[in-house]
């Protein structure tokens, strides 16, 4: 074809430019700054002339390479190793409420194990009429339920108790994900085994070495707990408990036992390591709360935030964030731009749903001055998200878990943002 060589070399130049970073936008910006036409419009671009990928190029797709920074991140100094550790969901770059499974946070105690469906067994034993073994195929034959729920690590925001420490909502609030689950109600499985009258608790454990055993009162077990095998439409990811995990709406993430292998009906709590040594909350006087299962109402502004500065200068902008409550639905989120002196009700993208994430927006006109951004969630019990000062007055600074305090971002005149505390 005529002109092919010239076009090919131009294409090579464009590729090189893109690979080098922002050559093309810079050229375009320069042209526009001089009042000239935008070459991205006036010149035919490669993607408007040549062909894109075929439908066989990626049977299971990944995000486009320009989004390669939207990833889980690890904070290496938090834990002794990366096996019994945590990573963080990039909530600062997400919108809406559903967390893509591929970047939804992980927390393991003995690593993410590989457990195939044919090797999967689920045991129900203890104070039941019939001790039973289910295969994975058995689980799929029970009537199913579906629900969208947040899973928040009890330690989410735990590094912030003693002060402002990590610069970014991913790190301060990213031990959380929100997915649409499909599975079997736990009460259906318990009915199959027949719970005896003296069965007041269940003890659940995973197939991994850590087991992550936890005790749950039977009232919660037969209310809304689910044995889930699908999340966001597909099988659970390996790191999220494939092929089956417990979903415990509104309750701390540690109870959401992954790679679930056994449900024991018991007369009393087992008081396992994960509910004595860990997931107990020490108060200032040295006494510790135990069985702090529910995650209270909480919110955070995800953008602008330290990882997402304002780059467009003064004028119209979107302030957005997430709110959630383990005790019901979010009914309102207030936003302050002046550190809590004055508040205005944000717009909820959808009405709040019980024990699920809610997206809020405040459409704002920024005057270019400093802001102290805060958000404050209210749930349908009337509970209002407290300040960190108010929580510290009751608990002190050593409870590690259950920090649902109001977060402040200091937005500076240059549009950059920092994690701060205010009076």
Partner 1 sequence: MLKSRKAAALLIVLAASSAAAQTQVPQTDAEPAAVQSFGLGRPALPEEVAAWDKDVSPDGTGLPEGFGDVATGEERYLEHCAACHGDFAEGLDNWPALSGGEGTLDRADPEKTVGSYWPYLSTVWDYVHHSMPFGNAQILTADETYAITAYLLYSNALVEDDFVLSKDNFTEIEMPNAAGFVEDDRADVEYPIFTAEPCMENCKESVEITMNASVLDVTPGDDSAAPDAATEDGTAVAPVN
- The DSSP H or E segment spanning 321 is strand 315-324
**What DSSP line would sit under 79-122, residue for residue?**
SSSSSSEEEE--GGG--SSPPPGGGS--EESS------GGG-EE
- Rounded to 5 degrees, φ, ψ at 393 are -60, -30
Which parts of 256-275 interact with partner 1 (CB under 8 A)? Answer: 261-262, 264, 266, 268-273
Shortest Cβ 410–partner 1 spacing (Å): 6
Regarding 240 and contact with partner 1 (CB under 8 A), the answer is: no
Regarding 18 and contact with partner 1 (CB under 8 A), the answer is: no
Regarding 106 and contact with partner 1 (CB under 8 A), the answer is: no
Q: How far apart are the C-alpha atoms of 115 and 112, rounded to whole Å?
A: 9
Query: Which three-class secondary structure state does DSSP give residue 336?
Result: strand
Given 6, 61, 286, 351, the residue binding partner 1 (CB under 8 A): 286
Query: Which three-class secondary structure state does DSSP give residue 232?
Result: coil
Q: How many residues at the interface with partner 1, by CB under 8 A?
A: 126
Given 78, 101, 113, 182, the residue binding partner 1 (CB under 8 A): 78
Given 173, 220, 230, 240, the residue binding partner 1 (CB under 8 A): 220
List the end-to-end C-alpha distance of the chain, in Å, as a whole number: 71
Regarding 203 and contact with partner 1 (CB under 8 A), the answer is: yes
Regarding 280 and contact with partner 1 (CB under 8 A), the answer is: yes
Inter-residue contact 145 to 185 (CB < 8 Å)? yes
Which parts of 338-377 interact with partner 1 (CB under 8 A)? Answer: 338-344, 372, 376
- Pick 95 or 192: Cβ nearer partner 1: 192
Shortest Cβ 60–partner 1 spacing (Å): 25
Q: How far apart are the C-alpha atoms of 351 and 363, rounded to whole Å?
A: 18
DSSP 8-class letter at 249: T
Which parts of 316-335 interact with partner 1 (CB under 8 A)? Answer: 334
Regarding 420 and contact with partner 1 (CB under 8 A), the answer is: yes
Regarding 206 and contact with partner 1 (CB under 8 A), the answer is: no
Which parts of 151-180 interact with partner 1 (CB under 8 A)? Answer: 153, 155, 158-159, 161-168, 171
Nearest Cα residue to 388 out of 420, 353, 349, 355: 420
Inter-residue contact 323 to 298 (CB < 8 Å)? yes
Regarding 136 and contact with partner 1 (CB under 8 A), the answer is: no
Given 29, 79, 82, 350, the residue binding partner 1 (CB under 8 A): 79
């Amino acid at each position: 074809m005529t002109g092919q060589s010239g076009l090919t070399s131009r294409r090579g130049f464009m590729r090189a430019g893109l690979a080098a970073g922002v050559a093309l936008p810079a050229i375009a910006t320069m042209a526009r700054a001089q009042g000239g036409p935008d070459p991205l419009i006036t010149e035919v671009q490669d993607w408007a002339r040549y062909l894109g990928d075929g439908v066989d190029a990626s049977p299971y797709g990944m995000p486009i390479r320009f989004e390669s920074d939207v990833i889980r991140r690890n904070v290496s100094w938090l834990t002794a190793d990366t096996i019994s550790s945590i990573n963080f969901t990039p909530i600062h770059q997400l919108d809406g409420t559903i967390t893509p499974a591929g970047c939804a946070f992980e927390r393991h105690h003995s690593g993410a194990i590989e457990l195939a469906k044919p090797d999967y067994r689920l045991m129900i034993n203890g104070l039941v009429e019939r001790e039973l073994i289910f295969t994975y195929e058995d689980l799929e034959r029970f009537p199913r339920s579906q629900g969208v729920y947040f899973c928040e690590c009890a330690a989410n925001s735990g590094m912030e108790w003693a002060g402002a420490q990590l610069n970014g909502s991913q790190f301060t609030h990213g031990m959380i994900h929100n997915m649409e689950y499909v599975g079997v109600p736990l009460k259906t499985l318990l009915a199959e085994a027949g719970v005896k009258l003296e069965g007041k608790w269940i003890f659940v454990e995973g197939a991994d070495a850590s087991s992550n055993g936890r005790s749950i009162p039977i009232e919660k077990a037969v209310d809304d707990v689910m044995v889930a095998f699908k999340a966001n439409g597909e099988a659970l990811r390996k790191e999220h408990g494939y092929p089956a995990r417990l979903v415990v709406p509104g309750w701390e993430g540690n109870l959401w036992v992954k790679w679930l292998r056994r449900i024991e009906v018991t007369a009393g709590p087992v008081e396992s390591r994960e509910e004595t040594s860990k997931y107990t909350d020490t108060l200032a006087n040295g006494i510790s709360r135990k069985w702090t299962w529910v995650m209270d109402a909480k919110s955070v502004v995800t953008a602008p935030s330290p990882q997402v500065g304002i780059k467009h200068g003064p004028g119209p902008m979107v302030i957005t964030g997430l709110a959630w409550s383990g005790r019901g639905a979010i009914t309102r989120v207030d936003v302050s731009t002046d550190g809590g002196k004055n508040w205005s009700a944000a717009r909820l993208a959808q009405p709040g749903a019980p024990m699920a994430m809610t997206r809020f927006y405040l459409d704002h006109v920024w005057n270019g001055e400093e802001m102290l951004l805060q958000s404050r969630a209210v749930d349908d019990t009337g509970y209002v998200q407290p300040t960190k000062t108010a929580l510290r007055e009751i608990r002190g600074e050593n409870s590690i878990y259950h920090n649902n305090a109001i977060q402040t971002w200091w937005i500076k005149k240059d549009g950059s943002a920092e994690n701060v505390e205010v009076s």
